[in-house]
């Protein structure tokens, strides 16, 4: 028997990966545990997962469970490209900044990145790198990748995604969506998952579970079969084929079969709004000084700048990350298990230290 090795009272705002497993997801893992099931995805849970995704996204979609977000993005993008293909993405995109070079080293993909202040691409920004087709000296731009919600906590509207998809398709490119926090986007937009993915023209997406209450597990979801090839083989080639896949699929079923995915995401979004509102109130009444926000708070992340030294003093009690240390810019993330008391205690600490 393993004893608890950590202080369960410690809370933080560093990442929604810091949270534990939602009890309903943990129960789903236990429910899938008895007896034997065929390995490598030929199990009842992975079959059921296809039905669950079809209920959200329509018939004809196919989901490929994988271990993590890096794997989902690498395998998904690799399936969309020939060896000479390139991906246009925001310079802040996770595939560019935080994947440790996996798209380039594992998938052999050239990334063509574009600076953007809010983490979002537009047709004009895409056009900065959407050129050179037929030039043998240039990697061919064949996929646009967007993140929903973005790494800066911002959201694409349904119309913005449709505009990007139409533009990419007119140019002969496909559209990929990194959906590590896609549930937060759906909760914030207040529209069905299908509205800003398949119906908006997204071809392949990653669906994130880990940041929204799962232990581990994401899925590559193919929305247009013509946009992707070889995923059955690439998932194994890229070391993302789980032998006991039923336990990954069971977690995603627990999230998506009912409304748990939405409840968790809506709660984490609400806690981010509470945090921002509390700091804004402190700024207004003078109890918090020298703090400014750098991005709108549209999902479950809050981005702000702090006076010199404040971040390090706050981190003695609440862990969080610098976003741009040169500007004293930090990121505060809320999770499905962030409580109102967690937020209020953090706001009080900010007030004491500024």
**Three-class SS of the chain:** CCCCCCCCCCCECCCCCCCCCCHHHHHHHHHCCCCCCCCCCCCHHHHHHHHHHHHHHCCCCEEEEECCHHHHHHHHHHHHCCCCEEEEEECCCHHHHCCCCHHHHCCCCEEEEECCCCCCCCHHHHHCCCCCCCCCCCCEEEEEEEECCCCCCCCCCHHHHHHHHHHHHHCCCEEEEEECCHHHHHHHHCCCHHHHCCCCCCCEEEEECHHHCCCCCEEEEECCHHHCCCHHHHHHHCCCCCCCCHHHHHHHHHHHCCCHHHHHHHHHHHHHHHHHHHHHHHHHHCCCCCCEECCCCCCCEEEEECCCCHHHHHCCCCECEEEEHHHCEEEEECCCCCCHHHHHHHHHHHHHHC
User: Residue range 135-139: average pLDDT?
Assistant: 97
Mean pLDDT of 199-205: 98
**What percentage of residues in the chain have a pLDDT greater than 70?**
100
Q: What is the pTM of this model?
A: 0.97
Q: What average pLDDT score do residues 333-352 get?
A: 98
- Per-residue pLDDT band for 164 (boundaries 50, 70, 90) equals very high
pLDDT band at 303 (very low <50, low <70, confident <90, very high): very high
The domains located in the chain, with CATH, are: 32-258 (3.40.640.10), 261-353 (3.90.1150.10)
- Check whether 2 has a pLDDT greater than 90: no
Q: Is the pLDDT of residue 31 over 90?
A: yes
Mean pLDDT of the chain: 97
pLDDT at residue 335 greater than cutoff 90? yes
Confidence of residue 182 (pLDDT cuts 50, 70, 90): very high
Quick check: 14 pLDDT over 90? yes
pLDDT tens profile 69-119: 999 999 999 999 999 999 999 999 999 999 999 999 999 999 999 999 999
Q: How confident is the model at residue 207, as a pLDDT?
A: 98
Q: Is the pLDDT of residue 41 over 90?
A: yes
pLDDT value at residue 1:
81
Q: Give dist(CA 77, CA 79) in Å, integer.
A: 5
């Amino acid at each position: 028997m393993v004893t608890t090795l950590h202080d369960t009272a410690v809370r933080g705002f560093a990442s929604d990966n810091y949270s534990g497993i939602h009890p309903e997801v943990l129960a789903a893992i236990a429910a899938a545990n008895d007896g034997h099931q065929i390995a490598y995805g030929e199990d009842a849970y992975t079959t059921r997962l296809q039905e669950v995704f079809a209920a959200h996204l329509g018939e004809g979609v196919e989901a490929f469970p994988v271990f993590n977000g890096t794997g989902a993005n690498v395998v998904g993008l690799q399936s969309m490209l020939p060896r000479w293909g390139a991906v246009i993405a925001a310079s802040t995109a996770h595939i560019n900044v935080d994947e440790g070079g996996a798209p380039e080293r594992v998938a052999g993909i050239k990334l063509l990145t574009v600076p953007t202040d809010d983490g979002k691409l537009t047709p004009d920004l895409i056009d900065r790198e959407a050129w050179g087709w037929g030039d043998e000296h240039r990697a061919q731009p064949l996929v646009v990748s967007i993140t929903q919600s973005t790494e800066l906590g911002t959201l694409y509207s349904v119309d913005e995604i449709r505009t990007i998809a139409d533009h990419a398709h007119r140019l002969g490119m496909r559209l990929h969506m990194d959906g590590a926090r896609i549930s937060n986007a759906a909760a914030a937009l207040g529209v069905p998952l299908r509205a800003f993915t398949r119906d908006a023209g997204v071809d392949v997406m990653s669906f994130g579970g880990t940041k929204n209450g799962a232990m581990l597990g994401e899925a590559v979801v193919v929305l247009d079969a013509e946009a992707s090839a070889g995923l059955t083989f690439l998932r194994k080639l890229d070391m993302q084929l789980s032998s006991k896949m039923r336990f990954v699929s069971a977690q995603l079923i627990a999230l998506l079969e009912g409304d748990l995915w939405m409840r968790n995401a809506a709660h984490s979004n609400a806690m981010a709004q509470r945090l921002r509102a509390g700091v804004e109130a402190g700024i207004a009444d003078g109890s918090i000084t020298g703090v400014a926000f750098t991005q709108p708070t549209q999902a479950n992340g809050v981005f702000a700048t702090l006076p010199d030294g404040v971040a390090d003093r706050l981190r003695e009690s609440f862990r969080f990350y610098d976003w741009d240390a040169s500007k004293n810019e930090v990121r505060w993330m809320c999770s499905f298990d962030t409580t109102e008391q967690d937020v209020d205690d953090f706001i009080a600490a900010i007030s004491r230290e500024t």
